[in-house]
């Protein structure tokens, strides 16, 4: 069975649970996951019954590509306005409950779809039904192909970080370090970065999502580097906090608290927990050290075709953690007058616990 066939089977099971007869897929990441199609324009129609062939509608630019990348799908040419081809796409369904991705489709797109759908003969007109993240729930559990691609993305990330760490010097700007990371990742086979690399030195590191500046990095400053390569569509995510030269007395003290929080969560997280339960494992270590208010974001998140996927690991998360998920563990402490420390690994959660894909060593400080 191909990856696409296996994924379609899992999606169809979810359709039955959601009480819809078919799903209209407009989210580009869900489209790629379900069909393998990497073009920039297209809709999928997946019926709950496997006797109805799944369809991929795209425009002239991608017809040949779609046929090659998505052999399990019947290709529909999006020729002309939507009212010219919508009937062909929806015809096999007849009167049924057709789910649409309410979290992805805009109000304007929904109105247009509703109006065009209403013009179909009653016997061929599906009823549009709102659904919530059906395919995202399937994507949360990674198959073997995905795990292999994610591990390769992480390796590219490890290698790019090692290159930057060995090359960078005091006086380099944050932007130069970011560019060095990207050049290294791309030259090793990455498609690009999964997100703009964060390189934040000194007090700038107290901003968890700081953007790199044209500011020189000084010796002794804590430097938060959050980065991830993208490989064949799949993302990596890693954070390390380092210092060039001698550090002050604050650095080892804060670093060791964050490291203890990270290792506690990495060793104790397990399937069956909620995202909130996992978050609390690390958060309690930081609270007990007196820095609870300085850890203002969640512990982690799922990673795959997107850098942030289900599940979410945080204070308010009810997401169940299951074996087969790939997650990050990334506690941090942020002191506006000094800077920040964050340590992040990414890996697989299985029945035996968390297994990090990240190979970059962590500092071992002696306070």
Looking up residue 304, the CATH number of its domain turns out to be: 3.90.230.10
Same domain flag for 188 and 225:
yes
Report the Cα 168 to chain-centroid distance in Å.
Answer: 28
From residue 50, give the alpha-carbon distance in Å to each of 25, 72, 102, 207, 208: 16, 11, 24, 49, 46
Residue 171 belongs to a domain: yes
Same domain flag for 91 and 156:
no
- DSSP three-state, residue 332: strand
Q: What is the pLDDT of residue 59?
A: 96
Vertex 333, ends 329 and 334: CA angle to 5°?
130
The label of the residue with tokens 């309690």 reads: 284
Find all residues with CB under 8 Å of 148, minimum gap 6, and list them.
Answer: none
- DSSP three-state, residue 239: strand
From residue 106, give the alpha-carbon distance in Å to each of 18, 52, 133: 21, 27, 15
Residue 367 belongs to a domain: no
Same domain flag for 112 and 168:
no
Same domain flag for 218 and 309:
yes
Helix runs in 248-362, H state only: 250-268, 275-288
Same domain flag for 48 and 153:
no
Report the Cα 112 to chain-centroid distance in Å.
Answer: 30
Same domain flag for 105 and 86:
yes
Cα separation of 365 and 259, whole Å? 10
Residue 265 belongs to a domain: yes
Domain span at residue 12?
3-139
Helix (H), strand (E) at residue 176: helix 174-187
Same domain flag for 127 and 165:
no
**pLDDT tier for residue 2 given thresholds of 50, 70 and 90:** confident
Q: Number of folded domains in the chain?
A: 2
Helix (H), strand (E) at residue 57: strand 55-58
Cα separation of 6 and 315, whole Å? 34
pLDDT, tens only, 244-273: 999 999 999 999 999 999 999 999 999 999
In 3D space, the residue among 343, 334, 335 whose CA is nearest the CA of residue 364 turns out to be 343
Kindly state the average pLDDT of the residues 167-195.
Answer: 98
Residue 1 has pLDDT above 70, yes or no: no
Same domain flag for 10 and 70:
yes
**pLDDT tier for residue 92 given thresholds of 50, 70 and 90:** confident
Residue 367 has pLDDT above 70, yes or no: no
Residue 365 has pLDDT above 90, yes or no: no
- Residue 173 is classified by DSSP as B
Q: For the whole model, what pTM was predicted?
A: 0.95
Vertex 188, ends 184 and 191: CA angle to 5°?
90
Cα separation of 357 and 328, whole Å? 10
pLDDT, tens only, 286-342: 999 999 999 999 999 999 999 999 999 999 999 999 999 999 999 999 999 999 999
CATH code: domain of residue 70: 3.40.350.10
């Amino acid at each position: 069975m191909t990856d696409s066939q296996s994924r379609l089977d899992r999606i169809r099971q979810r359709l039955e649970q959601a009480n819809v007869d078919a799903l209209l897929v407009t989210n580009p990441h869900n489209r790629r996951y379900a069909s393998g199609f990497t073009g920039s324009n297209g809709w999928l129609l997946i019926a709950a019954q496997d006797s109805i062939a799944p369809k991929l509608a795209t425009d002239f630019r991608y017809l040949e590509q779609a046929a090659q990348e998505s052999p399990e799908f019947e290709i529909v040419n999006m020729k002309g306005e939507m009212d010219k081809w919508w009937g062909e796409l929806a015809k096999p369904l007849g009167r049924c409950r057709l789910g649409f991705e309410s979290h992805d489709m805009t109000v304007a797109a929904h109105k247009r779809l509703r109006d065009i759908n209403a013009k179909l003969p009653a016997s061929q007109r599906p009823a549009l039904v709102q659904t919530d993240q059906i395919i995202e729930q399937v994507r949360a559990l990674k198959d073997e192909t995905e795990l292999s691609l994610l591990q390769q993305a992480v390796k590219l990330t490890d290698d790019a970080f090692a290159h930057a760490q060995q090359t960078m010097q005091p006086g380099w700007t944050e932007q130069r370090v970011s560019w060095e990371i990207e050049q290294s990742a791309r030259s090793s086979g990455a498609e690009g970065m999964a997100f703009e690399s964060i390189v934040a030195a000194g007090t700038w590191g107290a901003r968890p999502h700081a953007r790199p500046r044209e500011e020189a990095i000084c010796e002794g400053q804590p430097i938060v580097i959050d980065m991830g390569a993208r490989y064949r569509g799949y993302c990596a995510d890693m954070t390390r906090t380092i210092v060039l030269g001698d550090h002050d007395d604050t650095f080892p003290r804060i670093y060791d608290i964050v490291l203890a929080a990270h290792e506690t969560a990495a060793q104790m997280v397990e399937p069956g927990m909620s995202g909130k339960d996992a978050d609390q494992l690390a958060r309690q270590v930081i609270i007990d050290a007196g820095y609870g208010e300085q850890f203002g974001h969640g512990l982690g998140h799922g990673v795959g075709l997107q850098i942030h996927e289900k599940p979410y690991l945080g204070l308010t998360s009810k997401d169940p953690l299951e074996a087969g998920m790939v997650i990050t563990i990334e506690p941090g402490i942020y002191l506006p007058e000094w800077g920040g420390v964050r340590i992040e690994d990414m890996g697989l959660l299985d029945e035996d616990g968390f297994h990090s894909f990240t190979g970059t060593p962590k500092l071992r400080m002696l306070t």
